[in-house]
Amino acid sequence: DTEVTQTPKHLVMGMTNKKSLKCEQHMGHRAMYWYKQKAKKPPELMFVYSYEKLSINESVPSRFSPECPNSSLLNLHLHALQPEDSALYLCASSPRQGDYGYTFGSGTRLTVV
Amino acid sequence: GQQLNQSPQSMFIQEGEDVSMNCTSSSIFNTWLWYKQDPGEGPVLLIALYKAGELTSNGRLTAQFGITRKDSFLNISASIPSDVGIYFCAGHHDRGSTLGRLYFGRGTQLTVWP
């Protein structure tokens, strides 16, 4: 299995909702990443997990809460989002933090209404 | 964050033509990467470059790591319709406080006319 699987593919949520994005990989990678991508822009790093511990938080607002329950799973919990948070959320993994060989998932297209 | 200047921003070419795009940076990277992103999908790694001066090919794609370590280019030969997409360069440090971060260029939108 050489894929990073993200669910759901699309999500529409209200500003008072709580939802979660899920990311899964079975390549044995020990680094996992969340990126946010606005239309026609490059991906922007949000969080890095290394060996299930949060390694990098790029000053992301607390309405985004990451979680890495085990080495194969990465979640992003969403609460009280704003319409400007609408974007494509990409998960990626690599063998270790610092390995360039990222594998990206297909992303979750999030719309906040 | 570190800025990568990628050009051109967009290209409209005829099928069969060759394409060239490049990226420059104000700082040195240890690794240069080129990704392609199709609509609604995540970026897919095309070529990775580890060493200054390195020239690497992947089918019709050729990329080079500049000798100053501050630039890279990607060439696509004999373009075909499925080459359509956004191409991103990315730089990576393999040590220090920025370990694990990819710094992306703004992307080159490629359109290929049949």
A to B CB pairs, distance under 8 Å: 57
Is B95 a residue whose pLDDT tops 80?
no
Contact B53, B38 (CB under 8 A): no
When comparing pLDDT for B94 and B39, which is higher? B39
Residues from B contacting A (CB-CB < 8 Å) are 31, 33, 40-45, 48, 86, 88, 92, 94-95, 99-102, 104-107, 109
Backbone φ and ψ of B81, nearest 5°: -55, -35
Predicted pLDDT at A29:
95
B44 vs B41: CA distance, rounded Å: 9
Look at residue A83 and give its three-state secondary structure.
helix
Average pLDDT along chain B? 92
The model's pLDDT over A46-95, given as tens digits with 9 standing for 90+, comes to: 999 999 999 999 999 999 999 999 999 999 999 999 999 999 999 999 99
At B3, the pLDDT band (50, 70, 90 cuts) reads: confident
Predicted pLDDT at B97:
64
Contact B71, B62 (CB under 8 A): no
Predicted pLDDT at B75:
98
Predicted pLDDT at A99:
79
Is B46 a residue whose pLDDT tops 90?
yes
Beta-strand ranges (E) seen in A1-113 are 4-7, 10-13, 18-25, 31-37, 44-50, 53-57, 64-70, 73-79, 87-94, 103-104, 108-112
B23 vs B5: CA distance, rounded Å: 5
At B98, the pLDDT band (50, 70, 90 cuts) reads: low
User: For chain B, what's the residue count?
Assistant: 114
* b/e B19-30 (16+ beta carbons within 10 angstroms → b): bebbbbbeeebb
